Amino acid sequence: MFKRNGWGNSWRNGIYDYVHYHSNTHEVLGVARGEARVRFGGDHGKILEVHAGDVVILPAGTGHQCMHASKDLLVVGAYPGTGAYDECRGSPQERERALKSIPKVPLPDKDPVYGANGPLLAAWKR
């Protein structure tokens, strides 16, 4: 589904147990199996429970970290377009570069679930 809607460079795994973010792309996480408690927004972010069937869209620069996961957790992740993603962990050098690159990340062409007319694009433009 993600690929059909222009989100590629996909992977299947869990979510890292350390805070990280991507400064050069947005990311979608689809929970295929299991459940987890994930902190979104960096060290002082909000912890949410995600379950099989949930989809989370992370704008570039959104820190995320798995706090706890079921043993069967499987997440499918993807990025708009086919470009590579970086992995930032918050060093001062990364932050300086990220503050310049995050605002330049273009909006995706399509919602990863609903396509060109999906709600993501309308919500993002507000």
Report the C-alpha gap between 76 and 84 in whole angstroms.
Answer: 16
Q: Residue 56: name the closest of 88, 15, 9 by CA.
A: 15
| Residue listed under structure tokens 């987890």 | 36
Task: Name the residue range of residue 23's domain.
Answer: 3-125
3 burial (CB, 10 Å; 0-12 / 13-18 / 19+) is exposed
- Which domain CATH number covers 100? 2.60.120.10
Q: Please give the tally of structural domains in the chain.
A: 1
Q: pLDDT per residue over 26-82, tens digit each?
A: 999 999 999 999 999 999 999 999 999 999 999 999 999 999 999 999 999 999 986
Q: pLDDT per residue over 20-35, tens digit each?
A: 999 999 999 999 999 9
User: What six digits make up the tokens of 51?
Assistant: 């379950």
Report the C-alpha gap between 56 and 117 in whole angstroms.
Answer: 18
Look at residue 119 and give its three-state secondary structure. Answer: helix
This prediction's pTM: 0.93
Task: Note the pLDDT of residue 126.
Answer: 59
State the pLDDT confidence band at 125, using cuts at 50, 70 and 90.
Answer: confident
81 burial (CB, 10 Å; 0-12 / 13-18 / 19+) is middle
